[in-house]
Structure 1
Amino acid sequence: MKIKCPACGAAASIEVLIAHDDARSLIVALTGISDDTAKAALRYLGLFRPAQKDLSWARAAKLLAELVPMIQAAQITRKHQSYPAPREAWIWAFNRCIEARDLGKLQTPLTGHGFLLENLTFWTPQKTTAATVLPSPQPSPTGEGAVSTKLRDGVGGLIAWAQKGGGN
């Protein structure tokens, strides 16, 4: 079965990936962490890619294997001090690394996890609470005071169309 990478567009056989020891190691390591954390971790691993080259499966698997025990333990030790590192902290820190690169404050390719771990020492629950998405306002049961948006109007139109038979 051929799969296409959503990041680079390369096509590969999933059977080849599973048969490749290092690729399989990376996939197994990813299964040990939550979905959102895994997505953020993969973006972070891209910071280790050398210019004009691909990041090898072996290097990606090794880098992730260094992080997974800390992610699962939900804490890190840095300079002989322990810091809480729940899933939200990891996602926040991975994103901070990407932002630093985008702002030109982080030189790539990275050679270690020092910048990431240092960011984790600054994490507080308030930093991720502020970044959470608030639910959109819900219309009142009477329909008064409903917030009108293009999305709501479009969904409303689709529902009305479907209730009329959907063009059948």
Structure 2
Amino acid sequence: MKLCRCPVCHSNIHLDTLVQDDAAREMLAILAPMDGGLARILVAYIGLFRPEKSDLSWNRALKLINETLAVSNNRDWLRAALEETVKKLRESRIGGTFRPVTNHNYLKKVLEGLTEGSMQPAQPVGPQHTKPAIEVKSFERPVSAAELNRQHFEFVARFQNKGTTSGKDE
């Protein structure tokens, strides 16, 4: 059953083919009930593990999702840490060479920083209306899939133009 077309390569996506693979079916079963924001950022995060010139197998993607979800029981903290991790790693790739992520150590470090201070709940305000001892920082909401796709194409176009321009500002 043709489901739709891939927004990147425009090839057909067949749902029946996806559910025939055990790992793909299990991965879809994990992602489907998740909050849309967490699912999107989780998929973006595991995409950072993809080698430059090949795809992740369904088995590897499933393993990465399970490992990532095991990092923290608190989905709000995990989502915030994933957002920060994906943002920082994508920024580091803009001017540098492409290196796929090989482990979850950076995510764990970001999560540890969140749990030690910035994401702890604020103290309740008493009748004196005192300022809470800990301030909760707000995090950017993840952008839509269409916006991520647009940003990706914009990045690729800028990267390709660097090789064709001769010292001109972009």
SS at match of 2:51: coil
1:122 CA drift (Å): 2.3
The TM-score with structure 1 as length reference comes to 0.60
Q: Residue deviations 1:120-140, cap 9 Å, x none?
A: 2223246851646xxxxxxxx
1:114 CA drift (Å): 1.0
Partner Cα distance (1:33, 1:69) in 2: 15
Q: Residue deviations 1:70-89, cap 9 Å, x none?
A: 45x117xxxxxxxx825334
Structure 1 counterpart of 2:74: 74
The TM-score with structure 2 as length reference comes to 0.59
Q: Aligned pair 1:88/2:80, yes or no?
A: yes
Q: Aligned pair 1:99/2:100, yes or no?
A: no
SS at match of 1:48: coil
Structure 2 counterpart of 1:45: 46
Change in CA separation of 1:17 and 1:53 when aligned onto 2, cut-off 3 Å:
same
Change in CA separation of 1:121 and 1:35 when aligned onto 2, cut-off 3 Å:
same
Would you say the 8 A contact 2:24–2:58 is kept in 1? yes
User: Aligned-residue CA RMSD in angstroms?
Assistant: 2.9
For residue 117 of structure 1, the aligned residue among 108, 122, 125 is 108
Q: Which letter maps to 1:13? A: H
Would you say the 8 A contact 2:46–2:61 is kept in 1? yes
Structure 1 counterpart of 2:61: 60
In the alignment, structure 1 segments of 5+ residues that lack a partner are 76-83, 133-168
1:45 CA drift (Å): 1.3
Partner Cα distance (1:127, 1:100) in 2: 26
Report the number of matched residues: 123
Q: How does 1:120-131 map to 2 (within 5 A)?
A: 120-123=111-114, 124-125=118-119, 129=138, 131=140
SS at match of 1:122: helix
Q: Which has the larger radius of gyration?
A: 1
In the alignment, structure 2 segments of 5+ residues that lack a partner are 120-134, 142-170
Structure 2 counterpart of 1:108: 99
- Give identity over the alignment, percent: 30
Structure 1 counterpart of 2:14: 13
Structure 1 counterpart of 2:31: 30
Q: Residue deviations 1:50-107, cap 9 Å, x none?
A: 1211111111111001112345x117xxxxxxxx825334333333333333353x86
Partner Cα distance (2:78, 2:102) in 1: 24
Q: Which letter maps to 2:55? A: D
- Structure having the higher strand fraction is 1
